[in-house]
Amino acid sequence: MMQRTLMIDPVTLAVLKGRLEQIADEMDATLFRSAFNPIIAEAHDASHGIYDAITGKTLVQGKSGLPVFVGAMAFAVKAVIDKAAKDGNLSEGDVYIFNDPYDGGTHLSDFKLVSPYYRDGKLYCYLASVGHWHDVGGNVPGNYNPEATECFQEGMLIPPVKLIEAGKFRQDIVDIMQANSRQPISLYGDLNGQINALELGERRLTALLDEYGDATVQDALVELQVRAAQLMRMNIAELPDGTYSCDDWLDNDGIVDEPLKIALDLTISGETMMLDFSRSSPACAGPVNISLSTAVASVYVAIKHVFNDVPANSGVLDPIEIVIPEHTMLAVKAPKPVGGYTETILRLIDVVFGAMAKVAPERSNGCAYGTINALSLAGHRRDGRRWVMFSFFGGGHGGHPEGDGLNHGNAPISTATIPPLEILESAYPMFFTKWALRPDSGGAGQNRGGLGAIYEIELLEENADVFLFGERGRYAPAGVHGGGYGALNTFSYEQDDGYHKPPMVSKMVGIKIKKGQHLHLETPGGGGYGKASERDPKAVVRDVGLGYVTPEGAKRDYGVVLNKNGTVDQEQTDKLRASVSQ
């Protein structure tokens, strides 16, 4: 470790780290509890933090918010800094609002509120809040429009504007947004929750600065970045130099049925790392493009999963260079559609895991299920009222050095929980006929991938339109170190003549179903870790006994043959495993 002169004593630093994180955590909790739409309240698709006054870099981030926002919000704050510099009218008491995904990251559903924080008339830092709103206009309720070719079909686009100008609330801005949403009341409730969170953050930060002094807190903020960067450099320095590549694919963009490549060449050189995504596919017609800010944010998520001992601030990215040429689908500009960004960044995270597995097996894990499966059912009730059910679904996590992957986990980009099925059934005219683990869906391996799930829905109302935005219908989640693939995502919908599958496998708009007809979704499991032939036959027997793996799967994927009574047929197993390993 290099000897440096500390600006702040190590004990005060440790104390302030906890105090600062508590402020951001409390902002998260405030919004989760008071939000109107379940995507924030239950799925925690929101985030709060404290950001640098000049660069907009993330200084402190709440622990419970959506991980991908950690990196993205730095761009959002920078967009406000640039806008204010251009207009030359930043003042105390301002709150900016916007959802421009090209400057601020992610997609149109995410509304960012950014507020400059002043001390004694001088700009000290920024506070920001981001939350996923229920409906922001566009062609499809809930805004997951797999057929969008321009952002205008995905929803309204609000550039950074002042929602509160020097303490004065501008109702006209809210009126414009409410007029453009199918869920104006939900929008109003969520907006209020975000303002409450910012006000709370301001009060808490003021109390902290009063107690410790502006300079000491400032020193702590700087020192925490330095420490994160230093720790990250130490982590990278331990890895062998070289270039490691990993490619993965998206099924299609929803418009043109051709696979799209996400390609990474990861170079370790001393204590720095370069991630080069230049070999990835060019910008596409449909909504699986992402903006540069989103791409950088998702690299941050992947790195933080692998090196989870590094504090969550922008210092993590200091020793990391990210190369993403403008012609790729990973750095698009307006008006290219970006509504399905979640699918693309999940793949981007997968290739980081895949490349890391080649460098540092002991830190890696098989890929997680890799698709959020945004499913919406919409229609009108007998009394004419409109209903929209919208949810994301879970899948398996990858096998890892310590054991099998988690069954039915949430996506690596989020900490979201799924709403209880009883809550969904009480709110909408549909019910589930199945909500279960999916046998044989975990990638085979010495440590097996976690299982995906089977969800089946029956309609109770006369008619409904169904929208699905998913992935992994053709390219399964990969294992690492010889681990096998998780199962593919499959979706089918019932019509009078039986079940059908979407031509684009996991993406479709406007499916019409009738009362009594079903939707059937089977989600991927995680990829395996290590060779399946090295899995202890006893563990395979246990998996078969619990129904995680079928007897056929045990034989096919693990080379383990079971007797009728469920025990291992050692002779057959040895023979089979010997023949497979040759």
Partner 1 sequence: MSDQAKYIVGVDVGGTFTDVFFLDEQSGECSVAKVPSTRPNQSKGFIEGIRSGVEDFSELATVVHGTTVGTNALLERKGAKTGIITTEGFRDVLEMRRRDRPTTWGLWGQFEPIIPRNLRLEVPERTLADGTIYKAVNPDDVKAAAQELIDAGAESVCVAFMNSYANFDNEQIAVKAVRDIWPNEHVVASSEILPEIREFERTSTTALNAYLQPPVGNYLQRLETALQDDGFKGQVLIVQSNGGVMSVDVARRLPVRTALSGPAAGVIASAYIATVAGFPNVITCDMGGTSFDVSLVADGESSLSAQTSIDYGMIIRTPMIEITTIGAGGGSIAWVDRGGLLQIGPESAGSDPGPVCYGLGNDRPTVTDANLVLGRINADRPIGGKLDRLDVGAAKLAIEAHVGKPLGLEIMEAAEAIVRVANSKMAGAIRLVSVERGHSPNEFSAMPFGGGGALHAGALIKEVGLKSALVPRYPGVTSALGCTIADMRHDFVQTISCMLADMDIAGLQNHMGEMAAEGRKLLEDAKVKFGSLDTVFELDMSYLGQTHTVDVALPVEFKNGVVPVSVKLIEESFIARYAQVYGRPLEGIPVRVLNLRVSVIGRRSKFDLQLLAPKGDNSIKDAVLGHRDVWVDGGWHQATRYERLVLPVDAEIFGPALLEQPDTTIFIEPDLVGTVDSYGNLIITRQE
Choose which of 230, 252, 294, 376 interacts with partner 1 (CB under 8 A).
Answer: 230
Contacts of 534 (CB under 8 A, 6+ apart): 446
* List 92, 247, 271, 456, residue binding partner 1 (CB under 8 A): 456
Picking from 448, 573, 69, 122, the residue whose alpha carbon sits closest to that of residue 296 is 69
* The two structure tokens encoding residue 376: 């919406």
Position 167 contacts partner 1 (CB under 8 A): no
Nearer to partner 1, 33 or 512 (CB): 33
Give min distance, CB of 318 to partner 1, in A. 13
Query: In the window 420-449, what residues touch partner 1 (CB under 8 A)?
Result: 420-423, 425-426, 431-437
Binding mask 62-101 for partner 1 (x = CB under 8 A): -xx--x----------------------------------
For residue 485, give the 3-state DSSP assignment.
coil
Q: How far is the CB of 427 from partner 1 (least distance, A)?
A: 8
Nearer to partner 1, 28 or 100 (CB): 28
**Cβ atoms within 10 A of the Cβ of 361, count?**
13
CA angle 153, 159, 161 (to 5 degrees): 140
Angle, CA of 39, 40 and 44, to the nearest 5°: 100
Q: For residues 111 and 367, give the distance between their C-alpha atoms in angstroms, rounded to a whole number.
A: 29
Give the footprint of partner 1 on residues 114-153 (CB under 8 A): none
Task: Give the nearer residue to partner 1 in terms of CB position, either 15 or 176.
Answer: 15
Q: Is 35 in the site for partner 1 (CB under 8 A)?
A: yes
Pick the piece of the chain touching partner 1 (CB under 8 A) from 36-44, 290-298, 319-327, 490-498.
36-44
Query: Hunting for tokens 């440790």 — which residue is that?
Result: 14
Nearer to partner 1, 40 or 324 (CB): 40
CB of 438 to partner 1, least distance (A): 9
DSSP state of 401: T
In the complex, minimum distance from the CB of residue 447 to partner 1, in angstroms, rounded to a whole number: 10
Three-class SS state of 405: coil
Choose among 442, 331, 465: nearest CA to 395. Answer: 442
Could you give the C-alpha distances from 210 to 93, 181, 457, in angstroms and in order? 19, 42, 55
181 lines the binding site for partner 1 (CB under 8 A): no
List the one residue out of 222, 155, 218, 215 whose CA is nearest residue 187: 155
Measure the CA–CA gap between 557 and 568, rounded to whole angstroms: 15
Q: How far is the CB of 246 from partner 1 (least distance, A)?
A: 17
Q: Per CB under 8 A, does 569 bind partner 1?
A: no
**Candidates 22-30, 90-98, 239-247, 323-331; binding stretch for partner 1 (CB under 8 A):** 22-30
- In angstroms, what is the minimal distance from the CB of 116 to partner 1? 22
Q: Does 361 bind partner 1 (CB under 8 A)?
A: no
Going from the C-alpha of 81 to that of each of 78, 93, 98, 300, 415, the distances in angstroms are 5, 15, 13, 22, 29
Q: Which is nearer to partner 1, 34 or 267 (CB)?
A: 34
* 259 touching partner 1, by CB under 8 A: no
Residue number, 408 or 577, with CB nearest to partner 1: 408
In Å, the largest CA–CA distance within the chain is: 81
Q: Which stretch binds partner 1 (CB under 8 A): 98-106, 171-179, 463-471, 546-554?
A: 546-554
Question: What does the alpha-carbon distance between residue 142 and residue 148 come to, in Å, rounded to a whole number?
Answer: 13
| CB burial string 14-25: b at 16+ within 10 A, e below | eebbebbbebbb
Rule CB under 8 A: say whether 59 interacts with partner 1. no
Binding pattern for the stretch 278-317 against partner 1, x by CB under 8 A and - elsewhere: --------------------------xx--xxxxx-----
- Is 474 a residue that touches partner 1 (CB under 8 A)? no
Q: Following DSSP, what letter does each residue of 322-366 receive, concatenated?
A: EE--TTBTTS--TTS--TTHHHHHHHHHHHHHHHHHHH-GGG---
Using CB under 8 A as the binding rule, whether residue 32 contacts partner 1 is answered as yes
Whichever of 102 and 392 has its CB closer to partner 1, that residue is 392
| The two three-digit tokens of residue 58, written as one number | 């993330």
**Distance from C-alpha of 270 to C-alpha of 418, rounded to nearest angstrom:** 42
**Would you count residue 231 as binding partner 1 (CB under 8 A)?**
yes
Site for partner 1 in 482-521 (CB under 8 A): none
**What helix, strand, coil percent values describe the chain, rounded to 5?**
35, 25, 40
In the structure encoding, which two tokens stand for residue 322, read together? 């990210």
Total residues interacting with partner 1, rule: CB under 8 A? 86
Decide if residue 547 touches partner 1 (CB under 8 A).
yes
Nearer Cβ to partner 1 (187/576): 187
372: phi then psi, degrees, rounded to nearest 5: -90, -15
Specify the residue, 95 or 406, whose C-beta has the smaller distance to partner 1: 406
Confirm or reject binding of residue 545 to partner 1 (CB under 8 A). yes
**Spatial separation of the C-alpha atoms in residues 260 and 249, rounded to whole Å:** 5
x/- string (CB under 8 A) for partner 1, residues 394-413?
x--xx-xxxxxxxxxxx-x-
Q: Is 247 in the site for partner 1 (CB under 8 A)?
A: no
Residue closer to partner 1, measured from CB, 65 or 559:
65
Q: Is 546 in the site for partner 1 (CB under 8 A)?
A: yes
- Choose the stretch contacting partner 1; rule: CB under 8 A; options: 107-115, 150-158, 418-426, 466-474: 418-426
| Strands 320-323 and 272-276, sheet pairing | parallel
234 scored as a contact of partner 1 (CB under 8 A): yes
Task: Indicate the residue among 426 and 565 with the shorter CB distance to partner 1.
Answer: 426
- Answer yes or no: are the C-beta atoms of 252 and 371 closer than 8 Å: no
Minimum CB distance to partner 1 smaller for 284 or for 457: 457
